[in-house]
Amino acid sequence: MKKNTDYTPQEQVQIQSAFDELMQSTYQKIDKDDQVIINKAFEVARDAHDGQRRKSGEPYIFHPIAVARIVAQDIGLGAVSIASALLHDTVEDTELSHDDIYQMFGEKISRIVRGLTKIKKLKPDKDLSLQAENFRKMILTLNEDVRVILIKIADRLHNMQTMDSMPRHKQEKIASETLYIYAPLAHKLGLYNIKSLLEDLGLKYTEPEIYKEIENKIEESKEEQERYIQSFTDIIKDSLQKEGLNFEIIGRFKSIFSIYRKMRTKKVSFEEVYDKFAIRIIYKSDRKNEKFLAWKIYSIVTDHFKPNPSRLRDWITNPKSTGYEALHTTVMGPEKKWVEVQIRSERMNEIAEKGYAAHYKYKHGEKEEIGIEGWLNKLKDLLENQDDNAVDFIEDFKLNLFAKEIFVLTPDGDVISLPKGATPLDFAYTIHTEVGAHCRGAIVNGKLVQLNYTLRSGDVVKIITSPNQKPKLNWLDFVVTGRAKTKIKAYLKQEQNDIIEEGKEILQRKLKQLKLKYNESTINKLVNFFNLKTSKDLFYNVGAGIIDNKMLKNFASAQSNVLFNFFKKKLRRKPSGFQVTKDDITLNYDTIVFGPDEQQLDYTLANCCNPIPGDEIFGFTTINEGIKVHKKDCPNALSLHSNYAYRILTARWIDSTKHDFIVHLKISGFDRPGMAKDITRLITDDEQLDMKNVNLKAQGGMFEGEISLYIKNTDHLKQVIKDLKNIEGVDKVERLK
């Protein structure tokens, strides 16, 4: 093993001290075998990272030690995860290979380190924003070993805690990613403390002024907060003690981010946020009496303080899908201030603090780290449809991360957890894929309802099925669960493939009847004739009956030039300003124009909605990838218009054979009498073009200026530029972009 020669004696002491603190902070008691594994991982990581330093100048090894400490202390994972955290950057940043890790530490640790390295190496697809492809692949690792994601969250937390030395633009990028996916992931995994830290740090770097303002106001009111918490505690303390309860009361301000979110959603000031305080009552109890004592404490609290009945949350009877259990209520405290009161047993509190590890320690009564079976099973439904483009995948995934829960009942009384906003169709797919696929209606609380009916907690739902029913495209408009979306998309995709195959067979027969060859050349001509993008689009349109016999005959006629010349003559160019009549409407869209001047600009079609010729569209100016064209009903349209209105361009498909484009030319040369007249005569008389404006200036025997004119196509433009250059005295003519 290489000796650590690049650490100073003082740094060696500090590194060893940081590691000793890690060992002392382990949440689970580790035996001698565990100590050997962790010590070995530390020594390997320390020597491998020797000579590497972070941007702050400190030895790099402090980072994996800090990540391992978060894994041990804040998440409560065991030796395998702690060792993996210590080693998580070795394969990527040092000379060690995956084979080296496997040989030294075995299959489990090697698999986790490989998963972490895989995430780090991911590069987002060039056509996707927000690193959607990166996040998608990261989430797919959940299917392999959830500890990969838990360690990655710990890694992200420490990176967020040590970003001060980074450039501002990198801080914003990392903080935005954190708020977009890592904080919601931490929440869904039950890591509520880490989730709050990630949100606060995310706000610190995305909205630094707002963050500082709220932080200062919390600090200014710290003494008032402590006094208030003490006054609240004093009122209920005696009553709790008289009942023989063993408890502690903890009071705190809510997180900076949660206060900021309330200020933003309710459009109020810091002072107007009414429940900035949270009081937590944590009590000792055996498992048998936990629920009874929770309601007993609730009764005592509400004897002293009037509760808000709409704010009672019973997550003991129906725990959250993350395993979270507690009673929450909001009461009118001293000085007529609303206070949120959280009532938890020590076990419930540990699950709330440590999330996954604590939940499964209590559930299984063993220290082995066991995967989150329930949640992972739900995730697998979403992960099945890996062919989805990454943006759709992440949006569906985030939808399920953020969703609040409701609890509905089957006719037999079984409780089903669904996200808020769920419909009977979501319920049906949750029961079974086939039940969802054949669902034709639902009875909720004894009444027949539509499939898009919004369910509420306590509803009793019975699904009506029919063997003739099958999934429809519009179902995607109102289902909210990842499972339902995934299963519907999978069915529609298979149905689409079936139609494509059928369309291919139909087209072969029809072309034979029309005495046309079925080959690549003919297929390409058909694709161009009908303004489609691919041969698959052609086969689908034929199979679905969108392209019928009459349209195929028109194609055949065009190929033989019988009707082709007639239509070409009929659709010849009209004068500028010509209003298209019904007879001149065409489906032959081949070009997109942008803005009020309808300019031709470079663009790419957005993958999230795949617009095709004739769709209503708009342009969106991206930072790095030019103009992206989206359908007006694109799933991302609302978000883009809301957040980036200044980047939106009006756009429409046009038939270039019937449309004049506006072009701006810069012209210069040697001035002479009649120069302006010769230029305008050539454009308006010789070329018979319309000019939008002309602006020529002469000085010192030279002239220069700009001309805006309407032109048919690029070939015509080249000829006009050539003719202008032939005018006596004209030196340069160039198109302005």
- Please report, for residues 69, 87, 109, 122, 251, the alpha-carbon distance to residue 102 in angstroms, rounded to integers and kept in the order given: 23, 12, 7, 22, 47
Most distant CA atoms of the chain, gap in Å: 108
Question: Which residue do the tokens 């894929």 mark?
Answer: 433
The three-state (H, E, C) secondary structure of 289-310, written as one string: HHHHHHHHHHHHHHHHCEECHH
Q: Is the dihedral of CA 469, 471, 472, 477 positive or negative?
A: positive
Please tell me the chain's helix, strand, coil percentages from 3-state DSSP, rounded to the nearest 5: 55, 15, 30
CA 549/CA 598 separation, integer angstroms? 35
Contact present, 687 and 653 (Cβ < 8 Å) = no
CA 27/CA 354 separation, integer angstroms? 9
Q: DSSP H helical segments within 250-323, as ranges? A: 256-266, 290-304
Contact present, 444 and 498 (Cβ < 8 Å) = no
Question: Which residue do the tokens 């790095």 mark?
Answer: 624
CA 429/CA 420 separation, integer angstroms? 15
CA 473/CA 235 separation, integer angstroms? 58
568-595 core/surface letters (b: 16 or more CB in 10 A; e: else): eeeeeeeebeeeeeeeeeeebbebbbbe
Report how many helices (DSSP H) and strands (DSSP E) the chain contains, helices first. 30, 20
DSSP state of 709: E
φ/ψ (deg, to 5) at 329: -145, 155
**Bridge partner list, 318:** none
Strands, E, within 193-347: which ranges? Answer: 247-253, 277-283, 306-307, 313-314, 327-332, 338-345
Tokens of 223: 């003494």
CA 719/CA 225 separation, integer angstroms? 78
How would you class 263 by CB atoms within 10 Å of its CB: exposed for 0-12, middle for 13-18, buried for 19 or more? middle
608-633 core/surface letters (b: 16 or more CB in 10 A; e: else): bbebebebebbbbbeeeeebbbbbee
Contact present, 485 and 437 (Cβ < 8 Å) = no
AA identity, residue 518? Y
- Mode of pairing for the β-strands spanning 627-631 and 603-605: parallel
Q: DSSP H helical segments within 58-182, as ranges? A: 62-69, 79-87, 90-93, 98-105, 107-121, 132-140, 146-161, 168-177
CA 327/CA 349 separation, integer angstroms? 11
Which residues, 6 or more positions from 691, have their beta carbon under 8 angstroms from its beta carbon? 680, 683, 684, 707, 708, 709, 710
Set 11, 43, 92, 290: catalytic member:
92
Return the half-sphere exposure (C-beta side, CA atoms, 13 A cut-off) of residue 91. Answer: 23
**Within 10 A of 471 (CB to CB), how many other CB atoms are there?**
22
Q: Is the dihedral of CA 636, 642, 643, 644 positive or negative?
A: positive
- Mode of pairing for the β-strands spanning 327-332 and 313-314: antiparallel
Contact present, 77 and 71 (Cβ < 8 Å) = yes
Set 11, 50, 58, 93: catalytic member:
93
Q: Is 93 a catalytic residue?
A: yes
DSSP state of 572: P
Catalytic residue IDs: 92-93
